[in-house]
Amino acid sequence: MTDTTRNVFYFGCIAALLIGTGIMTSWNLAITILNFGLISAIMALGVNLQWGFAGLFNVGIMGFVALGGLATVLVAMPPVGEAWAAGGLRVITALVLGAATIVGAILAYNALPKGRMRTLGLLAILIVGFFIYRAVFDSGVQAVEAINPATAGYLGGLGLPVLLAWPVGGLLAAGAAWIIGKTALGLRSDYLAIATLGIAEIIIAILKNEDWLARGVKNVVGLPRPAPYEIDLQNSDTFVERATSLGIDPVTASTLWVKAIYAGLFTVVLLILFMLAQRALHSPWGRMMRAIRDNEVAAEAMGKDVTARHLQIFVLGSAICGIAGAMMTTLDGQLTPGTYQPLRFTFLVWVMVIVGGSGNNLGAVLGGFLIWWLWVMVEPIGLWLMQVVTSGMADGFWLREHLLDSAAHMRLLTMGVVLLLVLRFSPRGLIPEK
């Protein structure tokens, strides 16, 4: 079997799974899985860039995805004028002051000669800067959050088209990745993992607690959409006419049509990113990356700046995750910081890349679709399995109740087992790197 027939076979299987889901349960579910599968494939592409091309282990994907989600709010929501008038300027000034403090500290660190003077100067700048920042910031935040807290209580966004949020999400994620990469790259390989684990937790903590930014756990709902609303479609005569002529109920038709629009948009982004990633992989730059991954010492001896190249690819990969995060929040239509969990957003993407085939872009895309389908289906299958296992037990028996309740945690176990099995028995994945 040649590579091409094998790949066609694999993607044929994915199509069959989706169509099977459509026939067995509903087309609505199938197209939802397809949409999230497309987003997952993009995340997997980003992680594949980091791990497959360069061997960088990033366990903070959740954080970069969440930054993408934040970008949607900041770009697309209409600005809250009263909040801006009340304290917007103070908050922005405070953030600028905070940034200036850090820049000043770095400048002082580089300018002053090594010794006690430098330490003292640095501390003085940081402490004074921190208190000024807090004084300006706290009053601003209080003013902003006091404005209509039930529906607003935050600064809002820029009111720009939501599609613009996708590249902006990438930029935000890239910025965070640059800070992490600058400190943790060039040291032991595990340090990057630990640092990314930390930044992800902190980004989520910020999203949950900074109400002035994106309403925290009060969630931002009703984000603008790039697709029409179902209700408008149902009220439009031409749409209803067309749906009935096809023999579909207009309500079902409208939900399917909206989701199909999203699917089209996501496919375009996936294709663009996939083509870019393929070009990168086969360019001299991609070959250099793999050379660095396979033997850092040899690559360094050939005059390659290993740390700088690592930083470059780490930022690029994180940016792709940020884009995917912005797309996902757009699809959901709301930003809910409480739903970001490392299992779902970090670990699952890792399983996708490993199962699909690290180092191969097509493999990452395949893994994205396949594992996402599995992820959605594990819970009903687990519940069904538990019902079969416990069918012999009496109703209300404690073990039966316990097992049925625990079926929800099957996902953790299944994904862990899948990862370990693939790492052990097929470390190159379904579509191995050439």
Partner 1 sequence: MDFLNAFITLSNFVLIPAIAYGSQLALGALGVTLIYGILRFSNFAHGDTMAFGTMATILITWAFQGLGISAAPLPTALLALPFGIGVCALLVLATDRGVYRFYRGQKAKPIIFVMVSLGVMFIMNGLVRFIIGPDDQRFSDGERFIISVRQFKALTGLDEGLAIKTTQGITVITAIIVVVLLFYFLNRTRTGKSMRAYSDNEDLALLSGINPERVVMVTWLIVAALATVAGVLYGLDKSFKPFVYFQLLLPIFASAIVGGLGNPLGAIAGGFTIAFSEVMITYAWKKVAGYALPDSLAPDGLAQLLSTDYKFAVSFVILLIVLLFKPTGLFSGKAV
- Asked if residue 313 lies in contact with residue 177, where contact means CB atoms within 8 angstroms, the answer is no
209 is a contact residue toward partner 1 (CB under 8 A): yes
| Cα gap 195→185, rounded to integer Å | 10
Q: Which residues share a beta bridge with 334?
A: 221
Applying the rule CB under 8 A, the residues between 96 and 135 that interact with partner 1 are 130
Choices 12-20, 237-245, 303-311, 416-424 (CB under 8 A): range interacting with partner 1: 416-424
Cβ-based nearer residue to partner 1, 51 or 369: 51
Q: What is the DSSP string of 311-362?
A: HHHHHHHHHHHHHHHHHHHHHHTEE-GGG--HIIIIIHHHHHHHHH-TT-HH
161 is a contact residue toward partner 1 (CB under 8 A): no
382 is a contact residue toward partner 1 (CB under 8 A): no
Cβ-based nearer residue to partner 1, 31 or 185: 185
Choices 201-209, 230-238, 264-272, 370-378 (CB under 8 A): range interacting with partner 1: 201-209
242 is a contact residue toward partner 1 (CB under 8 A): no
Residues in contact with partner 1, counted by CB under 8 A, come to a total of 42
The first and second tokens of residue 181, run together, are: 């990469």
Can you tell me which residue has the tokens 């209300």? 396
410 is a contact residue toward partner 1 (CB under 8 A): yes
The continuous run of DSSP H or E covering 220 comes out as strand 220-221
219 is a contact residue toward partner 1 (CB under 8 A): no
Q: What is the DSSP string of 17-41?
A: HHHHHHHHT-HHHHHHHHHHHHHHH
Among 191, 239, 274, 285, binds partner 1 (CB under 8 A): 191
Cβ-based nearer residue to partner 1, 242 or 428: 428
- Asked if residue 36 lies in contact with residue 372, where contact means CB atoms within 8 angstroms, the answer is yes
| Cα gap 332→342, rounded to integer Å | 18
- Asked if residue 404 lies in contact with residue 390, where contact means CB atoms within 8 angstroms, the answer is yes
> Closest by alpha carbon to 14, among 348, 366, 362?
366
Taking residues 169 to 188 in sequence order and writing x for each that binds partner 1 by CB under 8 A, - otherwise, the string is: --------------xx--xx
Taking residues 338 to 377 in sequence order and writing x for each that binds partner 1 by CB under 8 A, - otherwise, the string is: ----xx---x--x---x-----------------------
Contact footprint for partner 1 (CB under 8 A)? 55, 57, 59, 130, 138, 183-184, 187-191, 193-195, 197-199, 201-202, 205, 208-209, 342-343, 347, 350, 354, 405-406, 409-413, 415-417, 419-420, 423-424
